[in-house]
């Protein structure tokens, strides 16, 4: 380090930062007077839902906003120097050298037509004043540090030759190799799988600690915050509503928004049969910033004063500030929206009927090519899966992307033909997809979208269908007024409700939901989960819930099937699988999930899964998990374990189910 700063002076001091986006229909105030500080070596998490202005704020610091975004006020002091007063040229000297950046989507953040070396070496040469050869050695060193195997060779690879996780490692190496004092990471793990996400977080944590780099970490995942951050800033509607040390924020959140947010996520310890708390309503439209407190319309503790005067940040404890007129937020006034209504236990009487039966299902994809004598590559997406779903039961399927969970869903619905094996469904199966905005025809009104399956099946006459549509829209908690709108006029949560209504239209006996909450914000996610749980209880539908979000699956599912490379490796009651996993993969998956509790996180030293999912193109002879398994033996590599019953209620495909 060439300079030493005063220990108390912050590295980054953001003061009343204001950012606007000028659009045709008005000016959107994305960042509305944000002030906070990051000290050297500190990790600060910026938490907020989409549209809260957290990314815009981070990009404003280095003026990396794209038109029509514009920083319109405030100061950004880095080591006491105001970045907002610098010219574009002067700022270029700060970008990359003093402040490094890692972005959300690793698939698009590297130049696709340039080798990694070309993108990595020149910045190092420039930032550290090294010769090409030394910079190259430095680049290899950093690639090695972030965990890229065979770094020397991979340096000359093109981005498309790497997986998403590897590319994100490259991004981190690229940012850190210039020895910045501050690293801004904008949702760096959101686009990645749970196991890869945990690896990336560990790498960033370790390397920033090693180099003393401070970090600003933007995320919507409260679990990650608990695992990662020293301090937390909670953003809502372009403002910081609460800021403080991570343990304080999680133990005694004092802004109603933070309090609600923390109670909406299914926690590891919470009772499964307790309803999730949900925040009513939606964030305000930032084109017309509300008078007074922006959260007041969704806040149970709102008082008349909230409508007149926006609360400023005021102290709540040591280094802990919150912007609320109520000193204790919701806790002083009412219990949070969590009406502790205990979910009625599932009706066991219904469970005798098997609604879905899948026997030794396989699905192999191959694309034979003309004019090629090479053997045709076969992707073994599903490899002998056997599952049952009883009436009124929810089966959760979890696994990393590429494990075949979505293919099972598509097979179940008959969207693909199985290569072999059998599927029986009692009655009709319907599907809810991940991305509600992509699964609707944007030119159709909501009423037509919900009615469509009825029309296809020639159900009733026009009047009967209209009545049915009205019944359905009420059933998913929307109003009849929504029927006349187009999908683009609804919010993500509302669209997902419509997707559920459409799936319900034909009275299905089985509903398959493929990552139904992944595209949704935390506060809306709880609404949809509650809706699905209610429907299951009320209608006695069998559910298949596919997700990579283990906490949600644990919350919603009665039984869980853990999939790995097209096979079910463990299958059993949800609580048992979570509390006493019998397969090392299940155990590893559970361990990688960051829990929204900084105290627990601090005591956990998760044994992370190393490496990535092997290619389903050439599966190993023995156990598919052998390459990543911590307790692997020679027997595993030679002999494939089959699903057995190591415990009475559970199946697991492992030679040593009692070893973990």
Partner 1 sequence: MIDYSLKKFVQLLITVLGVVTLVFFTLRFIPGDAASAMAGDAISGEALELLREQMGLNTPLIAQYFSYLRGLVTFDFGVTITTQLPVSDLILRAVPVTLSIAVLTILLTVTLAIPLGTLAALMAHRGQSGLDNAITGTAMVLDLMPSFWTALVFLLIFSLTLGWFPASGSVSFDNPMEYLKRIALPVLVLSVTQVATMARITRTAVLEVLSEDYVRTARAMGWSEMRVLFRHALKNAALPIVTVIGLSFGNLLNGTVIVEFIFTLPGIGNLLINGINSRDYQMVQTLIVFYALLFVIINFATDIVYRALDPRVRF
**Residue of 155, 184, 151 whose CA lies nearest to 78:** 184
Among 1, 66, 463, 481, binds partner 1 (CB under 8 A): 66
**Residue of 169, 318, 201 whose CA lies nearest to 601:** 201
Strands (E), 220-346: 231-236, 239-245, 314-317, 320-322
DSSP code, position 351: G
**Residue of 286, 241, 284 whose CA lies nearest to 260:** 241
Is position 114 an interface residue for partner 1 (rule: CB under 8 A)? yes
Whose Cβ is closer to partner 1: residue 11's or residue 472's? Answer: 11
Q: Please name the residue that has the structure tokens 């059933």.
A: 475
Among 43, 53, 103, 454, binds partner 1 (CB under 8 A): 103
Among 82, 111, 133, 422, binds partner 1 (CB under 8 A): 111
Q: Could you give the angle at the alpha carbon of 320 between the alpha carbons of 526 and 523, nearest 5°?
A: 10
Task: Report residue 53 as tokens.
Answer: 């202005």
Is position 62 an interface residue for partner 1 (rule: CB under 8 A)? yes
Is position 178 an interface residue for partner 1 (rule: CB under 8 A)? yes
**Contacts with partner 1 in 223-282 (CB under 8 A)?**
none
Minimum Å gap between C-beta 109 and partner 1 is 4
- Where does this chain touch partner 1 (CB under 8 A) — which range of 63-71, 203-211, 283-291, 500-508? 63-71
Is position 68 an interface residue for partner 1 (rule: CB under 8 A)? yes
Task: Report residue 107 as tokens.
Answer: 């698939």
Whose Cβ is closer to partner 1: residue 31's or residue 629's? Answer: 31
Among 110, 200, 261, 361, binds partner 1 (CB under 8 A): 110
**Residue of 604, 607, 627 whose CA lies nearest to 615:** 627
Minimum Å gap between C-beta 405 and partner 1 is 28
Is position 113 an interface residue for partner 1 (rule: CB under 8 A)? yes
Minimum Å gap between C-beta 80 and partner 1 is 20
Minimum Å gap between C-beta 106 and partner 1 is 9
Whose Cβ is closer to partner 1: residue 16's or residue 114's? Answer: 114
Among 37, 64, 75, 466, binds partner 1 (CB under 8 A): 64
* Residues forming a β-bridge with 446: none
- Supply φ then ψ for residue 257, to 5 degrees: -65, -45
Q: Please name the residue that has the structure tokens 């004019």.
A: 371
CB 180 within 8 A of CB 99: yes
* Residues forming a β-bridge with 235: 240
Is position 97 an interface residue for partner 1 (rule: CB under 8 A)? yes
- Where does this chain touch partner 1 (CB under 8 A) — which range of 28-36, 120-128, 354-362, 504-512? 120-128
Q: How far apart are CA 567 and CA 387, in angstroms?
A: 11
Whose Cβ is closer to partner 1: residue 127's or residue 229's? Answer: 127
- Where does this chain touch partner 1 (CB under 8 A) — which range of 107-115, 374-382, 424-432, 638-646? 107-115
Is position 96 an interface residue for partner 1 (rule: CB under 8 A)? yes
Residues 6+ apart with CB under 8 A from 623: 629, 632, 636, 637, 639, 640, 641, 653, 654, 655
Among 4, 8, 67, 131, binds partner 1 (CB under 8 A): 67
Instruction: Number of residues interacting with partner 1: please give it, by CB under 8 A.
Output: 32
- Where does this chain touch partner 1 (CB under 8 A) — which range of 96-104, 218-226, 326-334, 516-524? 96-104
**Contacts with partner 1 in 148-167 (CB under 8 A)?**
158, 160
Whose Cβ is closer to partner 1: residue 89's or residue 269's? Answer: 89
Element (H, E) at 454: helix 446-456
Residues 6+ apart with CB under 8 A from 285: none
Question: Do strands 43-47 and 231-236 pair parallel, antiparallel, or not at all (unpaired)?
Answer: parallel
Q: How far apart are CA 279 and CA 526, in angstroms?
A: 8
How many CB atoms lie under 10 A from the CB of residue 17?
Answer: 24
**Contacts with partner 1 in 465-504 (CB under 8 A)?**
none
Is position 108 an interface residue for partner 1 (rule: CB under 8 A)? yes
Whose Cβ is closer to partner 1: residue 96's or residue 336's? Answer: 96
CB 609 within 8 A of CB 194: no
- Supply φ then ψ for residue 247, to 5 degrees: -65, -40
- Where does this chain touch partner 1 (CB under 8 A) — which range of 171-179, 200-208, 322-330, 629-637? 171-179
Among 55, 101, 168, 362, binds partner 1 (CB under 8 A): 101
Is position 89 an interface residue for partner 1 (rule: CB under 8 A)? yes
Q: Could you give the angle at the alpha carbon of 407 between the alpha carbons of 401 and 413, nearest 5°?
A: 140
CB 63 within 8 A of CB 37: no
Is position 366 an interface residue for partner 1 (rule: CB under 8 A)? no
Is position 90 an interface residue for partner 1 (rule: CB under 8 A)? no
Whose Cβ is closer to partner 1: residue 122's or residue 460's? Answer: 122
Task: Report residue 162 as tokens.
Answer: 């790497």
Among 28, 30, 31, 127, binds partner 1 (CB under 8 A): 127
Q: How far apart are CA 234 and CA 218, in angstroms?
A: 10
Whose Cβ is closer to partner 1: residue 158's or residue 459's? Answer: 158
Sites of contact with partner 1 (CB under 8 A): 62, 64, 66-68, 88-89, 92-97, 100-101, 103, 105, 108-114, 123, 126-127, 158, 160, 171, 174, 178
């Amino acid at each position: 380090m060439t300079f030493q700063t005063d220990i108390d002076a912050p590295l980054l001091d953001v003061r009343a930062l204001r950012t606007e986006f000028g659009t045709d229909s008005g000016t959107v105030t994305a960042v509305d007077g944000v002030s906070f500080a990051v000290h050297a070596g500190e990790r600060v998490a910026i938490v907020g839902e989409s549209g809260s202005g957290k990314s815009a704020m981070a990009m404003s610091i280095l003026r990396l906003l794209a038109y029509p975004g514009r920083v319109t006020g405030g100061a950004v002091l880095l080591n006491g120097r105001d970045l907002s007063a610098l010219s574009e040229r002067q700022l270029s000297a700060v970008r990359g050298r003093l402040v490094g950046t890692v972005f959300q989507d690793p698939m698009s953040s590297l130049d696709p037509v340039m080798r990694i070396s070309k993108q990595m070496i020149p910045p190092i040469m420039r930032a550290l004043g090294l010769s090409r050869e030394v910079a190259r050695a430095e680049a290899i060193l950093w690639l090695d540090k972030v965990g890229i195997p065979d770094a020397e060779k991979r340096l000359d690879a093109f981005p498309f030759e790497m997986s998403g996780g590897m590319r994100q490692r490259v991004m981190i190496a690229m940012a850190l190799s210039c020895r910045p004092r501050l690293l801004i990471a904008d949702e760096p793990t959101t686009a990645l799988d749970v196991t890869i996400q945990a690896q990336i977080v560990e790498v960033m944590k370790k390397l920033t600690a090693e180099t003393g780099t401070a970090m600003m970490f933007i995320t919507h995942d409260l679990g990650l915050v608990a695992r990662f951050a020293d301090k937390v800033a909670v953003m809502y509607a372009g403002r910081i509503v609460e800021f403080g040390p991570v343990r304080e924020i999680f133990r005694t959140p004092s802004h109603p928004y933070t309090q609600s947010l923390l109670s909406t996520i299914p926690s590891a310890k919470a009772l499964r049969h307790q309803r999730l708390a949900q925040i009513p309503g939606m964030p305000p439209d930032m084109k017309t910033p509300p008078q007074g407190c922006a959260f007041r319309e969704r806040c149970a503790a709102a008082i008349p004063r909230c409508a007149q005067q926006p609360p400023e940040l005021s102290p709540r404890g040591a280094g802990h500030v919150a912007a609320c007129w109520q000193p204790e937020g919701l806790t002083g006034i009412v219990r949070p929206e969590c009406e502790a209504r205990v979910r009625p236990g599932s009706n066991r009487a219904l469970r005798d009927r098997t609604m879905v039966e899948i026997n030794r299902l396989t699905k192999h994809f191959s694309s034979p090519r003309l004019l090629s004598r090479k053997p045709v590559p076969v992707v073994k997406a599903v490899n002998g899966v056997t599952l049952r779903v009883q009436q009124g039961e929810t089966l959760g399927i979890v696994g990393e992307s590429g494990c075949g969970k979505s293919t099972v869903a598509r097979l179940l619905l008959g969207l693909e033909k199985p290569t072999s094996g059998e599927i029986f469904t009692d009655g009709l199966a319907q599907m809810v997809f991940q991305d509600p905005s992509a699964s609707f025809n944007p030119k159709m009104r909501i009423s037509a979208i919900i009615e469509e399956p009825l029309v296809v099946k020639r159900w009733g006459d026009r009047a009967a269908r209209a009545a049915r549509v009205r019944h359905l829209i009420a059933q998913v908690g929307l109003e009849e007024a929504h029927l006349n709108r187009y999908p683009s006029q609804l919010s993500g949560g509302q669209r997902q409700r419509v997707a559920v209504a459409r799936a319900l239209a034909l009275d299905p006996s089985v509903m398959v939901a493929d990552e139904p909450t992944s595209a949704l914000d935390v506060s809306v996610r709880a609404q949809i989960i509650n809706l699905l749980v209610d429907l299951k209880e009320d209608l006695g539908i069998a559910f298949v819930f596919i997700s990579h979000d283990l906490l949600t699956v644990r919350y919603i599912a009665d039984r869980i099937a853990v999939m790995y490379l097209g096979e079910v490796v463990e299958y059993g009651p949800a609580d048992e699988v979570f509390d006493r996993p019998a397969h090392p993969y299940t155990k590893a998956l559970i361990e990688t999930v960051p829990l929204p509790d900084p105290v627990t996180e601090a005591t956990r030293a998760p044994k992370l899964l190393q490496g990535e999912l092997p290619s389903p193109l050439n599966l190993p002879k023995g156990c598919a998990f052998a390459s990543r398994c911590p307790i692997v033996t020679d027997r595993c590599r030679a002999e494939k374990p089959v699903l057995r019953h190591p415990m009475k209620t559970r199946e697991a495909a492992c030679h040593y189910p009692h070893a973990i």
